[in-house]
Structure 1
Amino acid sequence: MGQQGIYNAVYIFPDQADYRPLHSFDDLRALVDQCALPATADGSIQEGEYGALLVKGGAPVQVIADFYDRNPDAYTWYYTAYALSRGTPGDGLNSIASAIVPPSKGPIYGPVIVVKNAPASVWSSQGKAVSDEGVVRTVWWYIKSGVDPEEVFKERTLIRLFADRDM
């Protein structure tokens, strides 16, 4: 077997007629895939790369959510999800992404890209690889547990700030 590539992004497809991603782990899994975006030497991805992957020829994008992994010990890094700035129902509902954003930002339409992110103070020490399985299991955990991704983000960010302060 050849060496696996390093993937620095996860692509979440809009809902498809034959899948119920909020009710079935396997259906959720079927709508998520790994991908690789061109990155600089420090692992940063140019903003235009997100739009180019979401729409042929590019499109404006926006951050729709920052959310931590389901692992309670993960507080030095988190996921950031990007979507089309002007997604419309014609782009297809993305119920997976809609489940992790605050109600004021939803529903989300069109494809979504998820990358690994970290505060600038620790960015260089973080690996940039993203596991589609990790994202799927994390989103499934948020959906099934009923835990609010925004609340988890606030709590873990506070933990990180206190941990940084103690160093």
Structure 2
Amino acid sequence: MQPIPELFNAVYIFPDQQGMQPLSKFDDMRYHFDACSLPTTPDGSIAEDDYGALMRKGGAPVKVIADFYDRNPDIYDWYYTAYALRDAGPHHGINSLASKLVRPSRGPVYGPVIVVKNAPASLWHLIGKAVSDDGLARTIWWYCRSGVDADEVFKERTLIRVFAARSLGL
């Protein structure tokens, strides 16, 4: 009998590591990712307190820094949401990977970041909650290398999903 693989529902993105440039090559970038499991409610959601507890001993308030779609252009029903410490600053270390997901005008992202799958409320119950650290790494690598703006992709795909739902009468 084959063992059942453990499913992870989040990915932890470490701040830049000394001596490594996460944006220079894929292997260096991949070193900054770690799949993890956070406790969930029966519907698969994660309490905001659990994000902060993973990022800082004793917990801390968090904020959403980005919603962004997977690199696969056929995915419209779910997206990633990235959370960072609300009070993170330069002393936490820059997170170059997460900074690529936000508009430059918002400034750099500092400290660790947690990424989970998300969806509109009407689709939440339909999506799988498992997150692949390799899939997320490839998506962020795509955003970094292609020069595509994550916020623009999010707006475009969301608009397409909304218009498709309306045309289907959903």
TM-score for both structures, normalised by structure 2: 0.96
1:67 pairs with 2:68: yes
Quote the residue 1:32 is aligned against: 33
Runs of 4+ in structure 1 deviating by more than 6 angstroms, as ranges, are none
Over residues 55-104 of structure 1, what are the superposed CA-to-partner deviations in whole Å (9 max), with x where a residue is unaligned? Answer: 01001100000000000001110000000111111111100100111113
Q: CA deviation at 1:163?
A: 1.2
Q: Does residue 2 of structure 2 align to residue 8 of structure 1? A: no
Alignment of 1:64-143 (within 5 A): 64-143=65-144
* Partner SS, residue 145 of structure 2: helix
> C-alpha distance in 2, partners of 1:77/1:23?
29
Q: CA RMSD in A?
A: 0.9
The alignment partner of 2:5 has SS state of coil
Task: Work out the CA distance in 2 between the residues paired with 1:104 and 1:154.
Answer: 17
What is the count of residue pairs matched by the alignment?
167
Retained in 2: the 8 A contact 1:64–1:105?
no
Partner SS, residue 33 of structure 1: strand
Using structure 1 for the length normalisation, give the TM-score: 0.97
Separation in structure 1 between the aligned mates of residue 13 and residue 74 of structure 2, nearest angstrom: 25
Identity among equivalent pairs (%) = 65
Measured in 1, the distance between the counterparts of 2:30 and 2:64 equals 22
Q: Quote how far apart the aligned CAs of 1:5 are.
A: 1.0
SS at match of 1:34: strand
Counterpart residue type for residue 155 of structure 1: E
| C-alpha distance in structure 2 between counterparts of 1:3 and 1:79, whole Å | 25
> Is 1:41 aligned with 2:42?
yes
Query: Residue 66 of structure 1 contacts residue 153 of structure 1 at CA under 8 Å; is this kept in 2?
Result: yes
Q: Secondary structure at the match of 1:113?
A: strand
1:105 Cα deviation from its structure 2 partner: 2.4
